[in-house]
Amino acid sequence: MQTHNLGYPRIGSNRELKKACEQYWQRRIDGRQLEQTARAIRNNNWQLQKDAGIDLIPVNDFSFYDQVLDTCLMTGAIPERYHPLMEREHLNDLDLLFAMARGYQQNGYDLTAMEMTKWFDTNYHYIVPEFKKDQQFSLFSPAIIHQFTEAKKAGFTAKPVLIGPVTFLLSGKEKEAGFHRIDLLKKLLPVYIEVLEKLDACGAFYVQMDEPCLALDLSEQEQQALVTAYTTLQNRVPNIKIILTNYFDCFGKNLETALRLPVHTLHLDLVRCPSQLDDILATGFVAGRTHLSLGIVDGRNIWKNNFQQSLALIEKAQQKIGANRIWLAPSCSLLHVPCDLDLEKDETVLTPEIKQWLAFAKQKLWEVATLKQLAANPGDPAAKNGYEENQRCIQTRNTSSLIHNEAVKSRVAAIKDADAQRASAFTVRKKKQQDLLQLPFFPTTTIGSFPQTKEVRAWRAQWKQQQLTGTDYTERLREETKKVIAWQEAIGLDVLVHGEFERNDMVEYFGEQLNGFVFTQNGWVQSYGSRCVKPPVIYGDVSRPQAMTVAWSKYAQSLTQKWVKGMLTGPVTILQWSFVRDDQPRSVTCNQIALAIRDEVCDLENAGIRIIQIDEPAIREGLPLRKELQKAYLGWAVTAFRIAASGVRDETQIHTHMCYSEFNDIISSVADMDADVITIETARSQMELLNAFASFEYPNDIGPGVYDIHSPRIPSKEEMIALIEKALKFIPAGQLWVNPDCGLKTRGWEETREALIEMTKAAAALRQKAAAPLLQ
């Protein structure tokens, strides 16, 4: 019985990689210094895993930005617009990678970044590969070879990790008509063969191939592509033993295909789908020689593993196939959880009672290793003590008085259908809102946040450390709010925002004011690139003890005659972007949050706020990977949003915001949310995402993002006009708003000012054209 890990957080326990990358982009350190930081993180991660008792340690799970983007560089799938950066500017691999991820606007170039979207049903964002019909592949970046030899030289038993060829192709997009990206497999496979041959020559024995596409509803063509790929790889590089990993769900209808693949080890996510172990053990798999990797420790959540339940799964597999064919692992890469619970020192932030229920990445490694010891030698004193302590913690959580609030449970049980319905249909509401708000054609707004400068962040830190009084802190933030309101008025924005300077994070800020949440000091998780988030932990029933945003919204509205949006995060996003309790259905927890947000919406309306935005960027993210489960999820998720939004009068305009998701398969549910205005990310896709809204004839107003805020490049007025005119081919002019893709918190003020001024100029130019036949 071996232990292995599918991947480890790459950001560093203290976010060393984030800080180093941002210093590199600001030219405060050079490439050599950035690589030194990366090497230190890699070696620390490998040593930590070895010390924990992990037999096979992953390499190439490290990335400076994103593992899918790394695969683009490895395979030479570099869009043509970046070729001059290689051929004329001679950018090295690292700078080319950052140009593809962030765009490139210097030396006379103005190159847009590649599109970004969610990795399956997680909050991790990956860079979307771009494919053409005549796409060519060749080994371009040998980073995986370098990382393997680095680990081997340092004395680690290394297991290279690759995104499998089929998942890589399916994660991309066709950039022209006339082919399906899976048709490119035969062109792609020679690169994978070359990589495996080089790894073989360097002494690699096992290679992990991640094929989470096996959790999707694959077509026959896609299933056959998997058979072709792995039969070819096995025949061409027989010395390499492939560990095929699927995670985030069962194999489902792909199980028969998976069992046909000539691989050494098949990995199962038994956290998301424990029943699949019975399905596999009931097949001819038992008589074969393929090993089984049991993903029994949750790689997506932070709750302590229940050893009793995990040992039952291990014992079931042992009885059927024997211990020698069993491997133990987390369910998926530990990329999705924080690094180390031991860093949580402040008991006033994370209380000992709740802390004992948790396990971060480092602790999950110990759980995997301890489960191996318990299965192999249950009488071992250390393992036995670990088991007893584990069960004690599980029991204290089950019986804790912190978790349950009967008033909250009763309120959820009393929810009626009418609680999720606005008083009138959208057409009636729109007329009333037009009469009240008096907004122009192509109204302009932003998504909510403005840049949080180092001064603002320093004030927050000083306030939390009691180096700044609450009064002084509030006064400084009020001054920032006053300045941003005045600036928005000056450039001509139509609907203003207060800037959210008081907020640390769009979920954490609300969780800090809701009962049932707890927080960490160092529980950082990578969202994309250098962007890290610190998800709250929902441990108990959720309620709102008092208003959370009303004072700031009232203050901002008092500074201007223009409308100021109230800004809230929606219940589904708060749920999805938290570590959620696993002792009740997620739908129940979501309804608890929805009622808390509903109370806030009603308080904002009573305070005179007439436009209220309830952000739901994560509603698509939570969609189950299998179609058979999606209807149930969309039913409760949409209902939760409507509960939050439906307590107001017709005249109050409800906005929502979504980003970095595909909407084609859920567009009817987006419409069912019945928001008066939806703003969405579309700039990176050049408005491609609007195809879904056009073919569906989306009935309400929509603001397609006209510039990409996740890139530092500044778009021109003409570029934004071109995007809006492209949008007009899909959406009637009377339904269109003009706005950025997302909030501006992570951007700098200089680029924000220039971009928003260009955006308001673009809207003004379009209004002048409003009488032209194109816009009628």
User: What whole-number distance in Å separates Cα of residue 667 and Cα of residue 613?
Assistant: 19
First to last CA, the chain: 70
Q: Name 266's Cβ contacts closer than 8 Å, sequence gap at least 6.
A: 244, 246, 258, 259, 280, 285, 290, 291, 292, 293
| Residue range 357-393, pLDDT digits in tens | 999 999 999 999 999 999 998 888 988 999 999 999 9
Q: Tell me: the pLDDT tens digits for 666-705?
A: 888 999 999 999 998 877 677 676 777 777 788 899 998 8
**Each residue's pLDDT tens digit, 553-588:** 999 999 999 999 999 999 999 999 999 999 999 999
* Strands laid side by side in the 57-59 sheet: 2-3, 326-330, 291-297, 265-269, 241-245, 206-210, 158-163, 57-59
pLDDT of residue 440: 94
Active site residue 90: no
Residue 605 phi, psi dihedral angles, 5° rounding? -60, -45
Phi, psi dihedrals of residue 272, rounded to the nearest 5°: -70, -30
| Spatial distance between the Cα atoms of 161 and 373, rounded to a whole number of angstroms | 26
Q: Are 745 and 500 in contact (CB under 8 A)?
A: yes
Q: What is the mean pLDDT of residues 151-180?
A: 97
Give, for 93, the enclosing helix (H) or strand (E). Answer: helix 93-102
- Assign 661 a pLDDT band (cuts: 50, 70, 90): low
> Which of 54-58, 59-63, 657-661, 766-770 is least confident?
657-661
Q: Determine the distance from the C-alpha atom of residue 227 to the mean position of all C-alpha atoms in its chain, rounded to a whole number.
A: 30
Q: Give the model's pLDDT for residue 744.
A: 87
Amino acid at 405: N
Q: Are 633 and 666 in contact (CB under 8 A)?
A: no
Query: How confident is residue 602, by pLDDT bands cut at 50, 70 and 90?
Result: very high
Contact 271/331 with Cβ under 8 angstroms? yes
Mean pLDDT (the chain) is: 94
Give the distance, in angstroms, between the CA of residue 577 and the centroid of all CA atoms in the same chain.
8
pLDDT tens digits for range 476-506: 999 999 999 999 999 999 999 999 999 988 9
pLDDT, average across residues 741-745: 87
CA atoms within 13 A on the CB side of 514: 32
641 compared with 768, residue with greater pLDDT: 641
Q: Could you read off the pLDDT of 212-242 as tens digits, one per residue?
A: 999 999 999 999 999 999 999 999 999 999 9
Q: What is the pLDDT of residue 776?
A: 47
8 pLDDT higher than 80 = yes
Bridge partner residues of 611 (DSSP): 565, 653
- Once rounded to an integer, what is the mean pLDDT over residues 302-306? 98
| Whole-number pLDDT of residue 775 | 44
When pLDDT is averaged across residues 256-272 and rounded to a whole number, the result is 96
Query: Which one from 4, 291, 498, 710 is the annotated catalytic residue?
Result: 710
Q: Give the three-state DSSP class for 657.
A: strand
More confident residue, 683 or 536: 536
- Tell me the CA distances in angstroms from 420 to 589, 591, 648, one per residue in order: 16, 11, 11
At 567, give phi and psi (nearest 5°): -120, 120
Nearest by Cα to 567 from 516, 621, 607, 609:
609
Condensed to tens digits (0 to 9), the pLDDT of residues 727-738 reads 888 888 999 999
H/E element, 74: helix 67-75
User: Concatenated DSSP letters for 8-50?
Assistant: --SS-TT-HHHHHHHHHHTTSS-HHHHHHHHHHHHHHHHHHHH
**pLDDT for 771 beyond 70:** no
